[in-house]
Amino acid sequence: MDKTYFKRLNQYQILWIFVFFDLPTDTKKDRKNYAQFRKNLQKDGFTMMQYSIYVRHCSNRENAEVHTKRVKSFLAPRGEIILFSLTDKQFGMMEFFRGQDPAKRPGTPQQLELF
């Protein structure tokens, strides 16, 4: 195998995009915006990690930028939304707990990406 194959699989090249959000649900319109934002995240391949925290696996920085721009294109008109990314190496160092017992770490999603 050539060097480009190994570069593609490098833990520092693969990224995870996180979306944290706190959107209002006071009015009917707010609830509609909240639901639409979540649906758009799911359509773009994001998975709920915790309530109001969604995550997406990206094969490289360029792919992560595409999805970051896409999320920015459907931001809700009100509320707070935080976007950030971690390398696969950093994601692998996260610790997950349920109660006081360590929880099983979510695996890398099996995604087929066609370009």
- Sequence-separated (6 or more) residues with CB below 8 Å from residue 67: 17, 44, 45, 56, 58
Q: What's this model's pTM, rounded to 2 decimal places?
A: 0.77
Q: Where are the beta strands (DSSP E) in the chain?
A: 15-22, 47-50, 53-58, 80-87, 97-98, 101-102
**Cα 79 from chain centroid?**
18
pLDDT at 107 over 80: no
Tell me: domain 10-90, CATH 3.30.70.240, correct?
A: yes
pLDDT at 111: 59
Bigger pLDDT: 97 or 113? 97
Q: How many CB atoms lie within 10 A of CB 66?
A: 12
> Does 98 score more than 80 pLDDT?
no
Q: What are the pLDDT digits (tens) for 8-64? A: 567 778 899 999 999 999 999 999 999 999 999 999 999 999 999 999 999 999 999
Domain boundaries, the chain: 10-90
